[in-house]
Structure 1
Amino acid sequence: MTTAQYIFIAFPAIFVILNPFSAASSFLSLTANQSDETQMQIAKRACITAFVVLLTFAVAGHLIFQVFQITISAFRIAGGIIMFSIGLEKLKLQPLRIEQTEEEMEESLHKTDVAIVPLGLPILSGPGAITTVMVLMAEINWKSSKLIGTLQMAGLVFSCALSIVLIYFILINSRKLLDILKVTGVGVMTRIMGLILTVIATQFVINGVRDLLPEFAKILS
């Protein structure tokens, strides 16, 4: 896989898993009584928090694999299944079970600062987003050369940064955006994102299974 192909997969996967329209709705609910300037500051801190969380898990992914003795192939399969289930819920327009519960959202409404928790974490950089960046990190081709691996790692960081920047602009324009799209438009966009995510997740699972086939062949022979 070339670096361009890697970014072409990484960017949509990260952007979709960040769930921009759901995040926009949550942002409006949590900042309804704030001024425009305050909303921009909250959106900025939330996005910075999400970027730091994603970058941390992207960079520390290999270390986590080594500590828990997890093979990259196994994580590709498990992560792909998790991403597929999230994409499937988007297709069905069901609320994600890994997001905040109603009780947690109610508690968040009474907080004076909601930028870091719950907006930055877990609404933006939740378990699904963390799993996605770790799976993408596992897809980096270090075997070909260090240069290709480094370029793809830079591509992953770029994809995270670009996704977060777009999310920031969606958040600060969330009221206008939701007024334009209405409920039907948001539903259509969410389903499209769900379809994209399920396709990418399926490819991750296929890659993981393909890498494990030689080991299964050795066991059976």
Structure 2
Amino acid sequence: MWVLSSTIESFLIAFPALFSIVNPIGIALIYHQVTAGNTRAERTALAWRVATYSLGVMLVSLLAGATLIGFFGVSLSALRVAGGLVVAVRAWEMLSAPEQNEGRKQEQASKATGASDDAFFPLTMPLTTGPGTISVAIALSANRPKNTLDVIPYFTGMSVAALVVALTIGLFYASADRVVSLLGQNGSRVVTRMSAFLLLCIGVQICLTGVQEALVSIIPTRVMPSHV
């Protein structure tokens, strides 16, 4: 049972974080503009290609991101603090100025023509899973438990979360015309702000975990009992 509960717990941490930073609902509006000249079948096929590439980017970042950075001598607690700060700052930008975030995404998508060759660049990177998504994934990877037995369910839950996010990307992109008619730009900004606040909380939590671990590793070595 502990394996299942640990897997669900990591999923509930990773899914809202990845969903918030990817924001497939908001980006579906831009995807709709880029692929306006395509047929519905072409838009659908392209949407699922982008979803597949996005899944690959998220999985690589989740499973190998923290390990690769660790080769440079960065401690896990430092990575958590830095990653949490990056996530929190990015979430604050999305929360306070969604218009600027939309403008940046529009600029990233400006080179896309809607052709299948655009599936990876620029529709997957940097439009859908760009530096922000990679930073969040690495921060989640750095937040893994120390116990080896807990690592497997933790990464299993995160991998499932990445898969579900990729599925939402495919669904929202393939149905971008319906998303536009249902939400519009104002509705998209409301969803973006709600997601950004949740992402801000997750970023702060990751940062606090890193600070707590750093303090625990420092204080015992400097504060020793007087009778020892």
Q: Distance in 2 between matches of 1:66 and 1:99?
A: 31
Decide whether aligned partners of structure 1 residues 97 and 32 sit closer, same or farther in structure 2, where only a CA change above 3 A counts: closer
Partner of 1:80: 84
5 Å matches for 1:59-138?
Answer: 59-92=63-96, 93-96=98-101, 99-100=104-105, 102=107, 104-109=108-113, 113-138=117-142
1:23 alignment partner, SS class: helix
| In the alignment, structure 1 residue 24 sits paired with structure 2 residue 28 | yes
Structure 2, unaligned runs of 5 or more: 224-228
Query: Cα deviation per residue 1:82-117 (whole Å; 9 max; x = unaligned)?
Result: 111121122122423995573x53333486622111
Decide whether aligned partners of structure 1 residues 77 and 57 sit closer, same or farther in structure 2, where only a CA change above 3 A counts: same
What do you get for the CA RMSD once the two structures are aligned?
2.3
Which residue among 51, 54, 57 is the counterpart of 2:58? 54
Structure whose CA Rg is larger: 2
Q: Distance in 1 between matches of 2:104 and 2:62?
A: 21
Check whether the contact 2:18–2:136 (CA below 8 A) recurs between aligned residues: yes
Partner of 2:144: 140
Check whether the contact 1:47–1:168 (CA below 8 A) recurs between aligned residues: yes
Q: Which residue identity lines up with residue 185 of structure 1 in the other structure?
A: G
Which residue among 150, 153, 159 is the counterpart of 1:151? 153
Partner of 1:171: 173
Partner of 1:198: 200
Q: Distance in 2 between matches of 1:73 and 1:165?
A: 32
Q: Which residue identity lines up with residue 57 of structure 2 in the other structure?
A: V
Which residue among 31, 39, 42 is the counterpart of 2:43? 39
Decide whether aligned partners of structure 1 residues 116 and 217 sit closer, same or farther in structure 2, where only a CA change above 3 A counts: same
Check whether the contact 1:86–1:96 (CA below 8 A) recurs between aligned residues: no
Q: Distance in 1 between matches of 2:217 and 2:184?
A: 51
Q: Please give the TM-score of this superposition, normalised by the length of structure 1.
A: 0.89
Identity of aligned residues (%): 24
1:60 alignment partner, SS class: helix
Q: Which residue identity lines up with residue 175 of structure 2 in the other structure?
A: N
Q: Please give the TM-score of this superposition, normalised by the length of structure 2.
A: 0.86
Check whether the contact 2:80–2:209 (CA below 8 A) recurs between aligned residues: yes
Query: Cα deviation per residue 1:142-196 (whole Å; 9 max; x = unaligned)?
Result: 41x42x2111111111000011101110111111112111222112111100111
Decide whether aligned partners of structure 1 residues 57 and 98 sit closer, same or farther in structure 2, where only a CA change above 3 A counts: farther
